[in-house]
Amino acid sequence: MNNLTVLFICTHNSARSQIAEGYLMDRYGDRYIGYSAGTEVTRVHPLAIEVMKEIGIDISGHRSKPLLEFFDTDIDIVVTVCDGAKAVCPVFPGARRTIHQGFTDPSLSMGSDEEQSAIFRIVRDEITQWIDENVNPCGALAW
């Protein structure tokens, strides 16, 4: 059986979708191929890299990618992780499913460095929990 491909999309491809891609590939890379992209790409947020490193996942080599890079890629599942991406997400004709699961944008957090890091950790934990709850141990998707 071929690995299922999952494309996580958020506006800037800087935090939420990067966290999701990194986690899916690290924990479930034997069954899934994870990608991430954005509708208005910027850069991978340093705090996203930091909070993923805290759980042993290195996304420091990731880069923000525009959706255009994936138009010729066979995608099984498209997951929008923010409302902005959901609103402008193009149709991926070969996708078996398109899912929206919104998460708070941690890059909008204010406060001290520690307060901002705490928000990134909360969002990271929400994303990783959602992925764990929706990946079936048999390799099928509960989504």
**Would you please indicate which residues are annotated as catalytic (active-site) residues?**
10, 82, 89
Residues 108, 2: Cα–Cα separation, whole Å: 38
Rounded to 5 degrees, φ, ψ at 86 are -60, -40
Residues 99, 47: Cα–Cα separation, whole Å: 26
According to DSSP, the β-strands at 4-10 and 77-80 are: parallel
Residues 68, 72: Cα–Cα separation, whole Å: 8
Residues 91, 125: Cα–Cα separation, whole Å: 29
Helix (H) or strand (E) holding 48: helix 46-54
